[in-house]
Structure 1
Amino acid sequence: MELNRKSDKPLYKQIEDIIINKIKDGILKPGKALPSERELGKELEVSRLTVRKAIQELEQKGILYKIQGKGTFVNDRKKAGEHGNKIGVISHLYKGVFMEILEGIEEGLESESYEYLLRNSQNDYKKEENIIQAMKEEGVSGFIISPVEDQKDSNVIFNLKAEGYPIVLIDRKLNYCETDCVLSDNIDGGFKATEYLIKLGHSRIAFLTYEFRKTSSVRDRIKGYRYALKLNQLELDERLLFSYNKDLSREEKNKILYNFIKENKPTAIIGVHNDVALDVVKMCRANNISIPEDISIICFDNTDIVRHLEVPLTTLVQDARKIGYDAAKLIVKKINSQEETGIMNQIYHPVKLIERNSCKSILQKNEK
């Protein structure tokens, strides 16, 4: 065990991480006693007060517990979590696809003896942390979570897993924490969108996202885009993989997107989700660019708004209701399971392309 004394992270927080990692790796098992504060302080070359602060923090989180005169032990969340019939459902937004996912969760829990608490993190990792802590205090037995995009240095979901809480992630997964999840096959979705445009004769295909690209769903859609280009022997022009700030004003977005099209001359655009596609549509309106005559557009998420535009958009549709249903059934199964099997479930649902009026073939007659 080593501490980084040059880090901005407080020493007691680093000690928390060390203990949690030992629990995750199975070195410290439920019911097992930790070394004494004196022993830990000596091993880590820190004061007992620093060790005590770390242990107190982990006690408050339910990861450790003390028995007077015996020591500090790793909590067994399997037993501690058996007291309630509530499931915490946390989303990073309350619109579009998630509302369909929620319908699926409700359907999945209909025949079960569980109710759910619903909260919105508003894509803010601090709010996500606070919501999870509050739900733990309310006695939830497990969590269905659509994690925020930017987890920064948050370990809250990792800590939940270390504590033994059943967790199912929906819509996206986390690099630093392997857990059960129910997702769309976003790699295949990115591939289908790109392949569709290639078959219409497009080779200058842009892929547009907002600036933060670390989200697993975004990364996977880009992987599918790259793979389709490679399979069709089209060289990727990195300039066509474009990101911009979602918080810019409408005027600023219009200017950036117009300049991007003018400079890079794509004939087709894939929007990573419908918000990006709508930004492009609004820019086209402002600059008298015709869809699909001047540029073709396809996007993920089959929301009402993209279906009812003056030129309805071709979209990639997620089976959102089934994602919610499967997540509900999986979390109930995990909560009711008497033993930890060690098996991690990752369920991927296919996406479907719905063709509308926003994409144009640019093949010459003799190529068709």
Structure 2
Amino acid sequence: MQIRAYVMDLIQHKHLKADDRLPSENELATQFGVSRITVKHALDSLVEDGTIYRIQGRGSFVAETGGEPLLYTKQSAAPGSLIAYIAPYLDNSFTARLLNGIEDELGKSGYKVIFSNSRGSQEKEKQLIREALALGVAGMLVFPVDGEKYNEEIVQLTMSGFPIVLIDRDLPGLSTHCVCSDHAGGAYMATQHLLSLGHQAVAFVSASTPSTASTEERLAGYEKALADEGIPILHRHRLQVSRIDDIIALLNDNPELTAVFAENSGVGQSVFEAAAKMGRSIPGELSVTFFDDFEFSNLSKTPPTVIVQEEQAIGMESAKLLISVISSKNPEKQKILLPTRLLQRQSTASPPPAKP
């Protein structure tokens, strides 16, 4: 990502022109302290989008149309009172309370929020970022889509100094302003709760792709809790689910499992449904806990034990950080982690006695 940005910067500032030769892979590997494979991946992506071309045995060169105009430069910045907020969805209480926190805090400083829904698409996200810049927004809040390692527009804005804050997850390898829950800490707390009840075989079930930063952090918290108790980390106890039958297969194939930690409330409710189809009672035969609550969950037949995030506080802290970034000339990059808490209800209990 940094290599891409470096090459694009050389082209956009006319240090390299059409048909000029780029530094060699060895030179870039030495400069950035990475392997040649990493450099090759970066250059391959630039070839794919037409920025550069390769000649076998000679190296990489700037293409005739290489180097699109910069999205933003400090010289072109236009002061304004509009803030763009881009999120992948707005269909549950979590995202609604997040937006409430953002609006409340920005309103205190006289800013207005433009909300746009990327609908989980990175291409849509890129388009919305460009449209927001065209409107002359003073800053931007972005809740990245699932599975996103980096978005070129976000990379470019971050490196050019545009006021931008990421919400709920950061992008690994990119130094950004970010506000999110302590995903690893919350997952550790949930898993430790199950282990403290006596469970020795706990599954981790997710819906998001493993490359999603929040999923990686929750998985890390789950694994750390197991490791701290000296329990082996078994890959067969992990599942990225796409349908209920996947969960049923996991439980059938691994009869030793007595508990499940689910990545989010949607997956957690799917585990409840799978258990019902199998005729397994919760928590009598299977304990279940998951990240995030859902509306009226306390009225469920078996109210779930959940990890609660402070959504409104995340929104407010994101807005506060963005306002600070806008008013500062060269602010240091900050990652703010907000604590989570375990809300214990009735979906977790000690494991059933071992069958003779």
Equivalent position to 2:129, from 120, 127, 132:
132
- Work out the CA distance in 2 between the residues paired with 1:326 and 1:152: 23
- Work out the CA distance in 2 between the residues paired with 1:98 and 1:315: 17
Query: Does 2:104 correspond to 1:107?
Result: yes
Mean CA deviation greater in 350-359 or 163-172: 163-172
2:226 alignment partner, SS class? helix
Query: Does 2:352 correspond to 1:351?
Result: no
Cα shift at 1:296: 0.6
Correspondence for 1:89: 85
CA contact (8 A) 1:62 1:163 kept: no
Quote the sequence identity (%): 27
CA contact (8 A) 2:71 2:157 kept: no
CA contact (8 A) 2:20 2:62 kept: no
Query: How many aligned positions are there?
Result: 316
- Work out the CA distance in 1 between the residues paired with 2:315 and 2:301: 31
Q: 1:294 to 1:84 in 2, by over 3 A?
A: same
2:290 alignment partner, SS class? strand
- Work out the CA distance in 2 between the residues paired with 1:244 and 1:363: 25
CA contact (8 A) 1:316 1:354 kept: yes
Q: 1:18 to 1:363 in 2, by over 3 A?
A: closer
What are the Cα deviations for residues 134-166 of structure 1, in whole angstroms up to 9, with x where unaligned?
Answer: 111111121111101133774121022233211
- Work out the CA distance in 1 between the residues paired with 2:228 and 2:352: 19
Correspondence for 1:53: 65
- Work out the CA distance in 2 between the residues paired with 1:89 and 1:264: 43
Cα shift at 1:220: 0.8
- Work out the CA distance in 2 between the residues paired with 1:256 and 1:284: 12
Query: Does 2:161 correspond to 1:151?
Result: no
Q: 1:152 to 1:298 in 2, by over 3 A?
A: closer
Correspondence for 2:307: 316
Query: Does 2:139 correspond to 1:142?
Result: yes
Equivalent position to 1:42, from 20, 24, 49:
20
1:208 alignment partner, SS class? strand
1:110 alignment partner, SS class? helix
- Work out the CA distance in 1 between the residues paired with 2:249 and 2:4: 51
Q: Runs of 5+ in structure 1 lacking a partner?
A: 1-13, 64-76, 246-252
CA contact (8 A) 2:84 2:132 kept: yes
Mean CA deviation greater in 195-204 or 82-91: 82-91
CA contact (8 A) 2:188 2:221 kept: yes
CA contact (8 A) 1:123 1:148 kept: yes
Query: Does 2:273 correspond to 1:264?
Result: no
- Work out the CA distance in 1 between the residues paired with 2:95 and 2:294: 11
CA contact (8 A) 1:92 1:124 kept: yes
Q: 1:305 to 1:272 in 2, by over 3 A?
A: farther
- Work out the CA distance in 2 between the residues paired with 1:204 and 1:50: 54
Cα shift at 1:80: 2.6
Please show how residues 1-368 of structure 1 align to structure 2 within 5 Å.
20-21=5-6, 34-35=14-15, 37=17, 41-44=19-22, 51=63, 53-55=65-67, 57=68, 59=69, 61-63=70-72, 77-94=73-90, 95-151=92-148, 154-210=151-207, 212-245=209-242, 253-265=243-255, 266-337=257-328, 339-341=329-331, 343-362=332-351
Mean CA deviation greater in 217-226 or 152-161: 152-161
1:42 alignment partner, SS class? coil
Amino acid at match of 1:349: L
- Work out the CA distance in 2 between the residues paired with 1:19 and 1:222: 29
Q: Runs of 5+ in structure 2 lacking a partner?
A: 23-51, 55-60
TM-score relative to the length of structure 2: 0.81
Amino acid at match of 1:43: R
- Work out the CA distance in 1 between the residues paired with 2:5 and 2:286: 52
Q: 1:289 to 1:88 in 2, by over 3 A?
A: same
- Work out the CA distance in 2 between the residues paired with 1:51 and 1:352: 53
Amino acid at match of 1:62: L
- Work out the CA distance in 1 between the residues paired with 2:104 and 2:183: 24
Q: 1:152 to 1:275 in 2, by over 3 A?
A: same
Amino acid at match of 1:155: E
2:179 alignment partner, SS class? strand
- Work out the CA distance in 1 between the residues paired with 2:201 and 2:97: 34
- Work out the CA distance in 2 between the residues paired with 1:20 and 1:279: 41
What are the Cα deviations for residues 14-44 of structure 1, in whole angstroms up to 9, with x where unaligned?
Answer: 9xx96832687xx89xxx953373xx53334
Cα shift at 1:50: 6.0
Q: 1:36 to 1:275 in 2, by over 3 A?
A: closer
What are the Cα deviations for residues 233-258 of structure 1, in whole angstroms up to 9, with x where unaligned?
Answer: 1112221111122xxxxxxx232211
TM-score relative to the length of structure 1: 0.79
Correspondence for 1:248: none
